[in-house]
Amino acid sequence: MAVISLPYRYLERLTRTDRKTILNKIALIGSDIERTEEDHVDVEFFPDRPDLFSPEGVARAMRGFLNIETGLPVYPVTPSGLSFTVDPGLAEIRPVLCAAVIRGLSFDDESIQSIMSLQEALHWAVGRGRSKVAIGIHDLSKVTGPFRYIAAPRDFSFVPLDYTESMTMEEMLEKHPKGKAYAHLVNNFKKFPLILDAHDQVLSFPPIINGELTRVTTGTTDILLDTTGTDRRAVMRAVSIVCTALAEAGGKLESVTIDGQVCPDLSASARTISVAECNKLLGLSLTPEEMAALLHRMRFGATPDGNGTLRVDVPCFRGDIMHNWDIFEDVAIAYGYENIQDNPPDTFTVGKPHPVQVLAMLVRDVFCGLGYLEVMPFTLTNEEVLFTRMRRKERAGILHVLHPISIENTVVRTELLPLLMEFFTLNRHRELPQRLFTVGDVVVDCSTYQQASGVSTHPDADFSEAYALADVVLHELSVEYTVTESDDPAFIEGRRADILVNGKKAGVFGEIHPLVLNAFALEHPVAGFEIDLRAVPGYPGH
């Protein structure tokens, strides 16, 4: 999520209203106020609205929402006469370039900070960590066109931002903080992307670092924006957002040519929406004119065309509008969620519990009746608990998480009983007897199914107690079973049995082996039982 810092005075000047009015309504366009400070407010916006990642963008939206200035904002662009060429050798590396010139800006430390925050937020939300899009902002007065975007040898050197000495691009990937952070984006290529001016001065090594030469300072008035990437749509989207934000800040936009193509294109895109379809989805009954007025407040152009449809002009910075329903949402936001009639639908249906959950509730009933207390262990565990401490061999079909957070959570549980043993360890200091059970999912070979397990510990816990428990639970669940001596090493030899249902092993019970008790740091005997609930008649699919 992007948290944007909005200085009150700047925001008030741009929005043309007071901070109280803005803060009262800002959440209603889709945001969360994180912190209100003396001189600014930090607001979190959603990743689909990067056009709100700057005070200028927020002010533009709020002017519309508050009816101060509505409709499609228009940003005039005049040609700068500057041009770029793109080296075909970049096709496999980082082929897309878009650029623009913004003149007549005045920067102070705060506004430099603000534009850098926008840049970073866009790198995250649109650029996917600079892989799809990387933005460079330069002091235009330091360089001379025409410019060239080339694939340069890795040992080409220049002075990167924040440094005073020249180094090779390869060295930057090893030494410069930004180089280290983003090296993975270029390191596989034989050549690196580079933007040079007419005198071979370096503007930028995208997507890593700019040259120190073109650093934006409080003396900067004219900016050259370069945006490179791998996805044309995403690059255009980022350029539109930065250009229009700087235009809102008072800049004059100028275009450049890139291999002859004029850039940027800040024109709106047109969509036609059905008023009836929008009303039907939202549960409203707006006239085309009312709907158009709401869309104007969301900074769209919208014109009723007399056929029950609206022609909607989507501003260039609204790259999140992918589908007509995205426009419907803006209608709803402008209308106000709080004003929408909230009646439940009259769809008639009959409630239907899932048989697996019905069975689980039944199992809980039976165990509770026997005085067993339910616990709900995590489903992620580790081999140490499942197998090593239980003296069992690792089970085939166990699923390993590829990137576990800790050594505690490396596999998905295949059994429940070892997890109950862990509960005894946790509760060693609590009063005995302790009788615990759990019922829940286990996973073997990508297949999820339910098991149930019960354990009892106290000085007299023994095989007979385990057998009695297994017998009564299976009886209550109408499971017809036979038993045979088990060879499960978790239990004491001669005090353990496998449960067979239709000749197939479905569970086990017995008296836990003292070595297992030692491994779980337990001092009293434990009687344990576990059953695969697929053995219960009526379990779905079995």
Of residues 222 through 261, those in contact with another protein by CB under 8 A are 231, 233
Residue 523 structure tokens: 């001092």
Task: Give me the 61-100 binding string for another protein, x by CB under 8 A, dash otherwise.
Answer: ----------------------------------------
User: Which of 282/316 has CB closer to another protein?
Assistant: 282
Measured N-to-C along each axis, helices 19-26 and 8-15 cross at an angle, to the nearest 10 degrees, of 90
* Shortest spacing between CB 369 and another protein, in angstroms: 7
Annotate 48-116 with three-state secondary structure. CCHHHCCHHHHHHHHHHHCCCCCCCCCCCEEEEEEEEEECHHHCCCCCEEEEEEEECCCCCHHHHHHHH
* Shortest spacing between CB 206 and another protein, in angstroms: 18
- Any contact of residue 332 with another protein (CB under 8 A)? yes
**Window of 59-67, 80-88, 202-210, 333-341 that interacts with another protein by CB under 8 A:** 333-341
- Any contact of residue 396 with another protein (CB under 8 A)? no
SS3 422: helix
- Any contact of residue 483 with another protein (CB under 8 A)? no
Q: How far apart are CA 458 and CA 221, in angstroms?
A: 81
Task: Give me the 433-452 binding string for another protein, x by CB under 8 A, dash otherwise.
Answer: -xxxx---x-x--xxx----
**Window of 126-134, 135-143, 153-161, 240-248 that interacts with another protein by CB under 8 A:** 126-134
Q: What is the CA radius of gyration of the chain?
A: 33
Taking CB under 8 A as the criterion, which residues in 373-392 touch another protein? 373-380
User: Which of 85/274 has CB closer to another protein?
Assistant: 274
Q: How far apart are CA 152 and CA 169, in angstroms?
A: 9
User: Which of 49/176 has CB closer to another protein?
Assistant: 49
* Shortest spacing between CB 476 and another protein, in angstroms: 14
Q: Give the closest residue to 147 by CA, choosing from 92, 74, 228.
A: 228
**Window of 52-60, 81-89, 114-122, 325-333 that interacts with another protein by CB under 8 A:** 325-333
**Pairing status of strand 157-158 against strand 202-205:** unpaired
Residues binding another protein: what is the number (CB under 8 A)?
87
User: Which of 280/542 has CB closer to another protein?
Assistant: 280
- Any contact of residue 128 with another protein (CB under 8 A)? yes
SS3 148: strand
Is the Cβ–Cβ distance between 112 and 54 less than 8 Å? Answer: no
Residue 482 structure tokens: 């036979």
Q: Which of 293, 370, 468, 522 binds another protein (CB under 8 A)?
A: 370
Residue 174 structure tokens: 């090893």
Decide: residue 314, CB within 10 A, 0-12 exposed, 13-18 middle, 19+ buried: buried
User: Which of 94/148 has CB closer to another protein?
Assistant: 94
* Shortest spacing between CB 296 and another protein, in angstroms: 18
Q: Which residues pair with 440 in a beta bridge?
A: 451
Q: Which of 76, 219, 306, 353 binds another protein (CB under 8 A)?
A: 353
Q: Which of 85, 201, 303, 409 binds another protein (CB under 8 A)?
A: 409
Position 534: which residue type? Answer: R
Q: Which of 188, 217, 341, 478 binds another protein (CB under 8 A)?
A: 341
Taking CB under 8 A as the criterion, which residues in 278-317 touch another protein? 280-284
Token pair 């090779």 is at which residue?
168
Decide: residue 303, CB within 10 A, 0-12 exposed, 13-18 middle, 19+ buried: middle
Looking at 206-316, which runs of residues are DSSP E strands? 209-210, 223-229, 252-258, 261-263, 269-274, 301-304, 309-314
**Window of 66-74, 220-228, 355-363, 474-482 that interacts with another protein by CB under 8 A:** 355-363
- Any contact of residue 181 with another protein (CB under 8 A)? no
